[in-house]
Amino acid sequence: MAPELPGVQFEPLAGSVAAWRAAVDAQQWLRAGEDIADRGGRLAALWASDDTDRGAGLCVRALLVSFEGLICLELRMPERDASFPDLSQSFPCADRMQRAVHDLCGARALTPDGDAADPRPWLRHGAWPEDIFPLRRNVAASARWPAQPDAYRFVTVEGDGVHEIPVGPVHAGTIEPGHFRFSVVGERVLRLEERLGYTHKGIEKRFEQMSLADAIRLAGRVSGDSTVAYAWAYAMALESISGAQVSERALRLRALLLERERIANHLGDLGYLGNDAGLAFGLAQFSRLKEDVLRLNARLFGHRYLMDRIVPGGVALDVDPAAIAVLLDEADRIEREVRALRAIYDDHAGLQDRFMTCGRLAPDTAVRLGVVGLAARACGIALDARAHPGYAPYTELQPKVITERAGDVAARVNVRFEELFESLRLERRILRHLPAGERVAPLAVAPEGGFGFGWVEGWRGEVFVALEAGAAGTVRRCHPHDPSWQNWPALEHAILGNIVPDFPLINKSFNLSYAGQDL
């Protein structure tokens, strides 16, 4: 059923997910956003492309999720003074995406009064001048600029006894870079402001120099801990453009890889959550289990983190009955050990005291901010792309959507435990009923201008890839979207009213990607 908006023509898109796209004008762009927000829809991604080489100006796209499916709005703008209406009134998470659009493409989000919605840069950290937009076609990928002055205006909190704690981007441990500006009174946090973008590498520009077949390797490296999710999303987008029919066996094997990625990451996170609460025992035990999973990955599939195991049209691996027996054995062992460890976590008064009521995210805030994935499920919002809209093979596997209601660290820990068990169940089910079929389906040549989506529920949340094919099998534009875009702002809310030393634990319970959203 096509969505209905006054005066907008929707064109259905091919692919495994129900999706439509529509060209809109500025008025309809704003109206459509408001309408979909009113009906409980949300913003999944927002990005821009430069089509001036085709004489079509710039194009900004908003991907909205409504109950009908995915709706992609396209708004064309002239190259000079490109601007589009600000969507952050309907979707607060649009703010950072709109700033990134300006940094990379030079199209500004404007409020109805004609002011910039938020004039501060997001990804531009003085690596290129303010009037250069790296994703424009006339900027060479090899261009380099001298370092620019980098002044960033943080929101300051004033008052008696308020002081600021700047943390990062260089931290005491070897973790990804991000700057956190705390305004505190004593130990209590009044406000947290994040500044990210330190790992901006120009991935989107790099995509445009690659062929459609090679680019899946880059997609698999956008965020290393979600390589399967990204590679699958990219493959899904490419397959929808070139109309490939991936075999049922290959799809099931992809799901196997995705669930193993989820298992490995959840194991790692559960260990670190214990460690951040001072229980190093948990880290040692869960790290051991995670390492077992990774080593088995390396032994059976050739890569610890399963990079490049998904290829356009299928998978670059297969399992024989001996491997299936090993995997089933391992799944039973992990389940047994994790259940024992969970009993220890659950019975540990000191640990539960740290977890419970810590870093609470209220469901209404989560809905308003468009929070996705694991963080959303921990505050009772049953979002899981595997279940809805669902895509092959999950439509048949029927994964259970795990939700908790409390929205605190304890809830996010419990969701991880339950999802781990559910992933083990799915893994067993896939292995026991693996249909015969070819590994890789032949891929037709993608038509120039072909446009497709991939939408995969990674362990952190929904990973989304928009792909546009260029001439002769090249990538014209590829936008990978990480769930962290939506969830980083939620962290700023979850910390409110908590104390400073609880931040690392709260942050770890979300465990968001820096690389995935800095691109």
Partner 1 sequence: MIDLAGVAAQFTELMLAILLAPLLTGWVNQCRAWLQNRSAPGLLQPYRTLNKLFQKEVVLAHGASPLFRIAPYLIFGSLALAAAIVPTLDIDLPLNAAADAIALVGLLALARLFVSLAGMDIGTAFGSLGARREMMVGFLAEPALLMVLFTASLISGSTSLSTIVHTLAHKEFVIYPSMAFAGVAFTMVSLAENARIPIDNPATHLELTMIHEAMVLEYSGRHLAMIEWAASLKLFVYSCMGLALFFPFGIAESGDWLGIVLALPALLLKLAVGGAALALIEMLSAKMRIFRAPEFLGSAFLFAVLAMLVHVLLES
State which of residues 280, 298, 444, 472 lies at the interface with partner 1 (CB under 8 A): 280
Q: Which stretch binds partner 1 (CB under 8 A): 4-12, 59-67, 162-170, 458-466?
A: 162-170
Query: Closest by alpha carbon to 15, among 72, 62, 92?
Result: 72
State which of residues 288, 299, 336, 388 lies at the interface with partner 1 (CB under 8 A): 288
Q: Is residue 163 a contact partner of residue 188, using CB atoms and an 8 Å limit?
A: no
* Angle 329-335-337 from CA coordinates, rounded to 5°: 100
Asked if 187 interacts with partner 1 (CB under 8 A), we say yes
Residue 275 Cβ vs partner 1, minimum distance, rounded to whole Å: 9
Rg (CA), the chain: 23
User: Which residue, 353 or 448, has its beta carbon nearer to partner 1?
Assistant: 353
Contacts with partner 1 by CB under 8 A: the residue count is: 31
Task: Return d(Cα 282, Cα 373) in angstroms, integer.
Answer: 24
Q: Which stretch binds partner 1 (CB under 8 A): 67-75, 127-135, 158-166, 455-463?
A: 158-166
Residue 154 Cβ vs partner 1, minimum distance, rounded to whole Å: 14
Asked if 239 interacts with partner 1 (CB under 8 A), we say no
Asked if 497 interacts with partner 1 (CB under 8 A), we say no
Q: Is residue 210 a contact partner of residue 221, using CB atoms and an 8 Å limit?
A: no
CB atoms within 10 A of CB 374: 29
Q: Is residue 47 a contact partner of residue 479, using CB atoms and an 8 Å limit?
A: yes
User: Which residue, 274 or 314, has its beta carbon nearer to partner 1?
Assistant: 274
The binding track of 333-352 with respect to partner 1, each residue x by CB under 8 A or -, is ---------------x-xx-
Cis before 149? omega within 30: no
Task: Return d(Cα 203, Cα 2) in angstroms, integer.
Answer: 33
Q: Looking at this protein, which amino acid is placed at residue 74?
A: E
Residue 349 Cβ vs partner 1, minimum distance, rounded to whole Å: 9
Q: Which residues pair with 42 in a beta bridge?
A: 65
State which of residues 278, 302, 435, 447 lies at the interface with partner 1 (CB under 8 A): 278
44: phi then psi, degrees, rounded to nearest 5? -95, -35
State which of residues 55, 114, 161, 501 lies at the interface with partner 1 (CB under 8 A): 501
Q: Tally the C-alpha atoms within 13 A of residue 21's C-alpha that lie toward its C-beta.
A: 16
Task: Return d(Cα 114, Cα 44) in angstroms, integer.
Answer: 25
Q: Which stretch binds partner 1 (CB under 8 A): 52-60, 271-279, 300-308, 462-470?
A: 271-279
Q: Which residues pair with 180 in a beta bridge?
A: 167, 194
Site for partner 1 in 64-93 (CB under 8 A): none
In the chain, what is the straight-line distance between the N-terminal and C-terminal CA atoms, in Å? 34
> Max alpha carbon distance in the chain (Å)?
70
User: Which residue, 165 or 298, has its beta carbon nearer to partner 1?
Assistant: 165
State which of residues 309, 354, 360, 477 lies at the interface with partner 1 (CB under 8 A): 354
Residue with tokens 């939408």: 455
Q: Tally the C-alpha atoms within 13 A of residue 342's C-alpha that lie toward its C-beta.
A: 18
The binding track of 452-481 with respect to partner 1, each residue x by CB under 8 A or -, is ------------------------------
User: Which residue, 348 or 428, has its beta carbon nearer to partner 1?
Assistant: 348
Residue 193 Cβ vs partner 1, minimum distance, rounded to whole Å: 15
Q: Which stretch binds partner 1 (CB under 8 A): 34-42, 67-75, 253-261, 497-505?
A: 497-505
- Contact residues for partner 1 (CB under 8 A)? 163-167, 171-173, 187, 274, 276-281, 283-285, 288, 348, 350-351, 353-354, 499-504
